[in-house]
């Protein structure tokens, strides 16, 4: 199982890097939309839709929502993708409440209709957040940066949790996660931020002046970036807990079987589905990246 998991992980990593580096924007977004629709199929199953026809209808509804929102954003600036992303941000605030109060919260969100709506709020803003990043200069590197934040949080939490884990983080949702693991994950994310800030030139969105090296970056800027990265890391944990909560409510171990050793697509992108919109909203709020949407 471990060998299969590693092989699948390597294939996914190579596939992601290849897509980010070689696919044109349109092809990349179509590919990501297809991944999202696979996730919608899996979410339909998590929500209790057992028939193939019902699940296909849900996938088609999500596809229709994507098209309507995209066309609307092209026709009306007030429907710009950032407001779609903001709707996702509102959901993740609600998700924090749901996770911390589970299983009591399931009395509200556990109804099938609401779970299907939640699926749209989990998946759709993440895609538009990716679109927002891709459209800025070196946008694909920003997408990769968010992926690295998620991976760092996950790896740091895994090893620190195994070594020091004592206190359960969310025992009703995911008994294996510990507070010590969360702290270790955030330390790993902070280290990533420091390394990237030291080694990568920083471009100010105001004057577009390059400042090379972490020590030469204005204090306010690097403190804001550190805050953004840490909150994004926390959001990635919330995304994982959110899916774990839904699976536990339905008595399901994995969202699917499409990825050998990993489960379903949702099992791999649950953290990203929260991290991407939260990251975009934060850099938008702090004016750290000149978003064009």
Dihedral sign from CA coordinates of 10, 12, 17, 21: positive
- Does this model's pTM top 0.75? My answer is yes
- What letter does residue 78 receive in the DSSP assignment? G
Could you tell me the two tokens for 166? 């004592």
Q: How far is CA 95 from CA 118, 147, 199, 217, in A?
A: 9, 21, 35, 35
Is 26's pLDDT higher than 90?
no
Confidence at residue 190, expressed as pLDDT on a 0 to 100 scale:
92
Is 61's pLDDT higher than 50?
yes
Confidence category of residue 139, pLDDT binned at 50, 70, 90: confident
Confidence category of residue 62, pLDDT binned at 50, 70, 90: very high
Min mean pLDDT across 124-133, 151-160, 211-220, 237-246 is at: 211-220
Distance CA 293, CA 288 (A): 14
Please indicate whether residue 189 or residue 83 has the higher confidence score (pLDDT). 189
Percentage of the chain exceeding pLDDT 70: 85
Strand intervals (E) in the chain: 168-170, 174-178, 202-203, 210-211
3-state secondary structure string across 147-202 = HHHHHHHHHHHHHHHHHHCCCEEECCCEEEEEHHHHHHHHHHHHHHHHHHHHHCCE
* Contact assessment for residue 199 and residue 215, using Cβ atoms and an 8 Å cutoff: no
Is 203's pLDDT higher than 60?
no
Per the prediction, the chain carries an average pLDDT of: 85
Burial 16-27, CB ≥16 within 10 A → b, else e: eeebbeeeeeee
Please indicate whether residue 225 or residue 263 has the higher confidence score (pLDDT). 225
Q: How far is CA 280 from CA 76, 86, 159, 229, 288, in A?
A: 21, 9, 28, 11, 10
* Contact assessment for residue 84 and residue 125, using Cβ atoms and an 8 Å cutoff: yes
The reply to whether omega before 171 is within 30° of 0 (cis) is no
Confidence at residue 255, expressed as pLDDT on a 0 to 100 scale:
81
Q: What are phi and psi of 200, to 5 degrees?
A: -115, 140
Distance of CA 268 to the CA centre of its chain: 10
Confidence at residue 75, expressed as pLDDT on a 0 to 100 scale:
53
Q: Which residues contact 192 (CB under 8 A, 6 or more apart)?
A: 148, 149, 152, 229
Q: Which residues contact 139 (CB under 8 A, 6 or more apart)?
A: 133
Nearest to 225, CA basis, from 200, 252, 249:
200
Could you tell me the two tokens for 249? 């409510």
């Amino acid at each position: 199982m471990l060998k299969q998991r590693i092989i699948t992980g390597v294939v996914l990593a190579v596939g992601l890097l290849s897509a980010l580096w070689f696919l044109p924007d349109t092809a990349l977004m179509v590919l990501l939309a297809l991944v999202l629709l696979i996730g919608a199929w899996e979410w339909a199953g998590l929500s209790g839709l057992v028939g193939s026809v019902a699940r296909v209808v849900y996938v088609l509804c999500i596809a229709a929502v994507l098209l309507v929102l995209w066309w609307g954003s092209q026709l009306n600036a007030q429907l710009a993708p950032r407001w779609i992303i903001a709707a996702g941000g509102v959901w993740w605030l609600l998700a924090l409440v749901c996770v911390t109060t589970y299983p009591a919260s399931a009395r509200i969100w556990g109804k099938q209709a609401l779970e299907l709506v939640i699926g749209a709020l989990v998946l759709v803003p993440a895609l538009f957040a990716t679109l927002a990043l891709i459209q800025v200069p070196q946008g694909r590197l920003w997408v990769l940066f968010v992926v690295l934040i998620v991976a760092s949080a996950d790896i740091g939490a895994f090893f620190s949790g195994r070594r020091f884990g004592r206190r359960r983080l969310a025992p009703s949702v995911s008994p294996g996660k510990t507070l010590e693991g969360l702290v270790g994950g955030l330390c790993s994310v902070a280290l990533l931020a420091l390394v990237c800030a030291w080694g990568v030139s920083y471009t100010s969105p105001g004057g577009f002046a390059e400042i090379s090296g972490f020590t030469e970056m204005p204090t306010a800027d690097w403190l804001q970036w550190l805050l953004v990265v840490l909150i994004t890391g926390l959001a990635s944990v919330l995304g994982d807990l959110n899916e774990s909560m839904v699976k536990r409510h339905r008595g399901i171990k994995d969202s699917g079987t499409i990825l050998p050793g990993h489960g379903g697509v949702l099992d791999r992108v649950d953290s990203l589905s929260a991290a991407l919109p939260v990251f975009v909203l934060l850099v938008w709020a702090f004016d750290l990246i000149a978003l064009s949407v």
